[in-house]
Amino acid sequence: MMYKMTATKKEFNSYKDLVDFIRTWQSWLGPGQFDFNGLMGLLGACLDNLRERAADATELDEFLEGFDEFLEPEQLNFLKHLASRIPNTPTEGDDGA
């Protein structure tokens, strides 16, 4: 499927501008449509960024200890809900045992 950008190039001058844009974004497909796959792609990109930027497991563990400080309670609950719906599949390096 080809994605057509329905708006002009967006520039972000601050972290708040970027977050506000993502929070209200609906679709590249057109007005009145919601692109769930596109939004999940953005979430995946955020997860990749976090995984790749964590210098080592210790740094990531320290971040995760205060993870709930970065999300509103509703966001944290929804993230837990999403995680609970992920099918049990082997992860990289997991032999499935």
Which tens digits make up the pLDDT trace of 62-93?
877 887 888 899 998 998 999 899 888 766 65
The span from the CA of 75 to the CA of 77, in Å, is: 5
The answer to whether residue 41 scores a pLDDT higher than 80 is yes
Residue 29 in any domain: the answer is no
Average pLDDT score, the chain: 79
Question: Which of 15-19, 31-35, 63-67 has the least mean pLDDT?
Answer: 63-67
The span from the CA of 28 to the CA of 52, in Å, is: 27
Query: Which H helix or E strand runs over 52?
Result: helix 36-53
Q: Domain span at residue 52?
A: 42-86
Residue 22 in any domain: the answer is no
Looking at the structure of the chain, the number of domains it has is 1
> Is the CB of residue 12 less than 8 Å from the CB of residue 18?
yes
Residue 76 CB neighbour total at 10 angstroms = 13
| Residues shown for the chain | 97
